[in-house]
Structure 1
Amino acid sequence: MAAGEPLSQFVRDALAGGHDGPRIREALQGAGWTAPEIDGAMAAWQGGGDLPPVPRPRPYVSAREAMLYALLMIALVLLCFHVLRLGFQLIDGAIPDGADSALPDRWSMRFSIAAILAVLPLFVVLDHRMARRLGRGEQRRRSQARRVFASVTILAAALVLLGDAVSVVHAFLSGDLTPRLAAKCALVAVMGLLVAACYREDLDG
């Protein structure tokens, strides 16, 4: 039996016996349960008045959603990679650097543009479809697959932003912070912030 099952059963029995929330919380705290555990157990049931306690909807895991979010994450990674790659090449062409006289790689630029044009519609359609399917509010927060996807995405964005900041500080202290490097770091920061902002609300709940 999972650790949360006797706790949930106790809350149900206490509500069925007519005890109120504060009294139940006090008893659970006295038994050594933590506040998050108590909150989770209390949130799982709603007093039914003359009916038995009514179970509230719980977070769920869907294999279909997990597969779609895995595909969505792959599309997001490819999209960010090629946007940054194309942006770096455009910055190289727009900001001259005497130490680097290499010609722009036209084939690489065309490949990144092709990848963006192919992946962007897939990403937009998938994200819109999943958001519409889940809706907003409680139903959206109950999707464990979306919360895992949002958590991994924001963690990756935070690590990218941290690495970007370290690169800027290191280049500044070394005297190597050129306008070209600053522009590239700014592009990476904007991309990381946009990704984190898009999925921040999915961590709630």
Structure 2
Amino acid sequence: MASRDELSLFIRDALTAGNSRADITAALTDAGWSKTEIIDALDAWAETAFTPPVPRPVQTVSARDFFIYALTFGVLLVGAINLVIVLQVLVDLLFEEDGYAVFGRIRFGVSVLIVAAPLYLWLTLRERRRLARDPALHRSAIRKWLTYIALLLAAGTLLGDLVATIYALLTGDLTAQFMLKAGIVGLVAGGIFLFYYNAIRQEDAE
């Protein structure tokens, strides 16, 4: 961390002295700094003719963000799992005669969804209103990390679902019931992935 602070201070002083970014890059490269370190350090300062150099906004971290976003994504994870369970049990209902036994297996999942769905919607809409009022909140590092974790989990679920489907095909176990269940997993995981992927793309485009 200390070395990065020294690099940032050096670039600030070099820009203040009127050195070009190309000259600064060459000097730092000769000193042994990596290309990535140099680019990241230079990007921390806006490319303007103003003196002294103007720092760019940096990502923020707060306990409040951790609590809200961890709760939001936790509720999403629990809700998504139970949504899949409920829908898959309903698929079983199409192929099994004992409907009472099947419905008995989804009571807990339905209970979770009754709590998780409105809570997730409330948390998400509440945060979107805050982001609309104060665009600076988009720079929350915790929010970005948890968003990418959600993307990772969704992508991993999609890949696992695809592997399971191919395996069932190769072993001859690819029944209509299995395909419907795999499709449910794919739709839920794919929906979550697309939702947060589009959110990330919109933020990067702004």
TM-score normalized by the length of structure 2: 0.86
- Contact (CA 8 Å) 1:59, 1:143: kept in 2 or not? yes
Cα deviation, residue 163, structure 1:
1.3
Distance 1:149 1:16 in 2: 37
Which residue number in structure 2 is paired with residue 79 of structure 1? Answer: 79
Could you list the runs of 5+ residues in structure 2 that have no partner in the other structure? none
Distance 1:76 1:11 in 2: 43
Alignment RMSD: 2.4
1:193 pairs with 2:206? no
1:44 pairs with 2:48? no
**1:109-151: per-residue Cα shift (whole Å, max 9, x none)?**
3432232122111111212222332349973552111111112
Greater mean deviation of Cα atoms: 141-150 or 38-47: 38-47
Q: How many residues align?
A: 201
Match runs of 1:50-199 below 5 Å: 51-94=51-94, 96=95, 102-103=98-99, 104-135=101-132, 139=136, 141-199=138-196
Larger proportion of helix: 2
Cα deviation, residue 198, structure 1:
1.6
Which residue number in structure 2 is paired with residue 27 of structure 1? Answer: 27
Could you list the runs of 5+ residues in structure 1 that have no partner in the other structure? none
Distance 2:2 2:29 in 1: 19
Cα deviation, residue 196, structure 1:
1.2
Which residue number in structure 1 is paired with residue 13 of structure 2? Answer: 13
Distance 2:175 2:50 in 1: 73
Structure 1 residues 135 and 41, CA gap change in structure 2 (3 angstroms): farther
Q: Which amino acid aligns with 2:108?
A: F
Cα deviation, residue 105, structure 1:
2.7
Q: Which amino acid aligns with 1:131?
A: R
Cα deviation, residue 31, structure 1:
2.5
Which residue number in structure 1 is paired with residue 3 of structure 2? Answer: 3
Distance 1:184 1:20 in 2: 60
TM-score normalized by the length of structure 1: 0.86
Identity among equivalent pairs (%): 33
